[in-house]
Chain A
Amino acid sequence: MSAAPPERTCRDEELLAAVIADFIGDVRHVAVGNASPIPATAALLARARGNGRPYVSLLQSRKHNFFTDGGRELFDCAGQGRIDVFFLSGGEIDGEGNINLVGIGDYAHPKVRFPGSFGAAYLYYVVPKLILFRTEHSRRTLVPKVSFISAPGVSPDNLYRPGGPIALVTNRCVFSFDRARRRFALASLHPGHTLSQVVEHTGFDFDRADDVPNTPLPSAETLRLMRESVAPELAEVYPQFAATVFGVR
């Protein structure tokens, strides 16, 4: 755990996108919602590696989006099981995988207001591989119990729920989620981060093995694909992100 951090040859955003791309795996359809530049990078990277598979639907894109039946088509697709992977974040995320996209404090008189739940109160239930991402890993964001449940991490057995969270990727580490135990487990630490730092900055308890591996750095080929073929595609939807991270203008 205390080994010197290996030399970093990539930006944090590239590392996180590569980690998320590995979680996507071999599937038919990945969709990406609002305000998700790193997942969008990961989805396009998965497609670049797979020579066109999976289908990638970026909700806000004109080009990377095959929907022709209006905004409902994405959700209808998901309801039928035609979307394999989706991504959500949260103003707050707790140890049972509950996510809060609404606000902090009493709902009627909140202290903090977030934008709103978007499609979370539906997609969190029906997409089989739901990957959580939160680039600010702190006790402010990863809390013991969320103020408001936009969507719950787990549901009672009688509720129709083919989907749910499989992992949480942050700027410090990767957690996997165990639906039966209703808990996260530390899966890997990003280079340069330690277990004690993660414990210090996480507001919820989580499982961990005695020896937690480091998150592998993206290969040279992964970085090349991201920078040369994915980055220019991102600028349509995330011009500021593409400019800041990849220098695309």
Chain B
Amino acid sequence: MIRTLDDALAPIADGCMLAVPREVAGVPMAATRALIRRGVKRLHLVALPTSSMQADLLIGAGCVETLETSAVSLGEFGLAPRFTAAILAGTITMKDATCPALHAAFQAAEKGTPFMPLRGLIGSDLLHTRPDWRVIDNPFGNDDPIVLLPAIKPDVALIHAPMADQAGNIWIGRQRELATMAHAAAKTVVTVEKLYDGNLLEDPVLAAGTLAGFYVDAVAIAENGCWPLSLPDHYAADLDHLADYARLAATAEGFARYLEQHVHERRAA
């Protein structure tokens, strides 16, 4: 179960649907850099429900064919420049969503149901851009239109967590959407800060925050694996580095220099 980073990422094949988490849940950035070094192509990237530097980096490096998410932004560092450039140039296919629609569609997949209904959405132009979303009349109501969203069933979920044990159990704490992602996806690849000595499911306190190894296909140790983003409760974002990224990624040339310096040149993890 515990592998090298490159071996663990093997299930993420060219052209696959890859699910990744939002920033507060811990973004697997070491794994993202390894995927770019490997030259992964044509990803259908689904960010639950938003993304920041991870999507921007993968798009800029030419790894993404389709992006499905609710927003991509560098937060206080402004627009995500490679995402913005790719949309304006028409080099990626965008499937715009809204956060709860993605959460609901993952929940449909984890239940094994074909769709989930959701309030809101009607009257939004998002509906016109998403022919896969349907409006029906609530069968239990009277003249009550509501949207149905098809389940999102990713080929692979890629997540980062504080720790794993030898059985492949993953301690995710209160970041419960990581469990939803793993339940919804056919395969799950996890990077962790460290190995836990023992079995996480044997400690009742830890077990409540544990994703069972049953759902997990590969685990790799990636210490500081969210850098330069944060792993909440463990380490903060590297703000100076993020400011440098925002500045460099503003141009294609600067972004290429960033990749050369920080991605292709192998750093710790």
Q: Which residues of A line the B interface, CB within 8 A?
A: 34-35, 59-60, 62, 67-73, 75, 79, 101-103, 107-111, 113-126, 148-152, 155-156, 158-160, 238-241
CB neighbours (8 Å) of A158 from chain B are 143-145
Q: Are A120 and B98 in contact (CB under 8 A)?
A: yes
Q: Are A148 and B125 in contact (CB under 8 A)?
A: yes
Q: Are B232 and A62 in contact (CB under 8 A)?
A: yes
Confirm or deny: B191 has a beta carbon within 8 angstroms of a beta carbon on chain A: no
A-contact 0/1 string along B160-190, CB 8 Å cutoff: 0000000000000011111110000000000
Stretch binding the partner chain, chosen from B2-10, B100-108, B151-159, B255-263: B100-108
Q: Are B100 and A115 in contact (CB under 8 A)?
A: no
A-B contact count (CB 8 A): 148
CB neighbours (8 Å) of A118 from chain B are 49-50, 70-71, 98-99
Q: With A and B bound together, what is the CA distance between A119 and B25 in angstroms?
A: 17
Closest partner residue, chain A, to B88 (CB atom): A113
Q: Are B96 and A239 in contact (CB under 8 A)?
A: no
Decide: A70 near B120, CB < 8 A? Known: A35-B73, A148-B125. Answer: no
In the complex, besides A115-B72, A126-B119, 6 extra interface pairs with C-beta distance below 8 angstroms are A67-B174, A102-B96, A113-B88, A121-B121, A150-B98, A150-B124
A-contact 0/1 string along B126-157, CB 8 Å cutoff: 10010000000000000111100000000000
Closest partner residue, chain B, to A78 (CB atom): B100
- The size bracket of the interface on B is 35 or more
Please list 26 pairs of residues, one from A and one from B, whose beta carbons are closer than 8 Å in the complex, sorted by A's number.
Answer: A35-B75, A70-B175, A72-B100, A72-B177, A72-B180, A113-B87, A115-B71, A115-B80, A116-B73, A116-B97, A118-B71, A119-B49, A119-B100, A121-B98, A122-B99, A122-B101, A125-B120, A126-B120, A150-B126, A155-B123, A156-B123, A158-B144, A160-B144, A240-B76, A240-B239, A241-B76
Q: Are A149 and B125 in contact (CB under 8 A)?
A: yes
Q: With A and B bound together, what is the CA distance between A25 and B206 in angstroms?
A: 40
| Residue in B97, B118, B174 whose beta carbon sits within 8 Å of that of A68 in the complex | B174
Confirm or deny: B199 has a beta carbon within 8 angstroms of a beta carbon on chain A: no
Closest partner residue, chain B, to A113 (CB atom): B87
Q: Nearest chain B CB to A86's CB is how many angstroms away? A: 12
Q: Nearest chain B CB to A13's CB is how many angstroms away? A: 14
Q: Nearest chain A CB to B94's CB is how many angstroms away? A: 9
CB neighbours (8 Å) of B49 from chain A are 71, 118-119
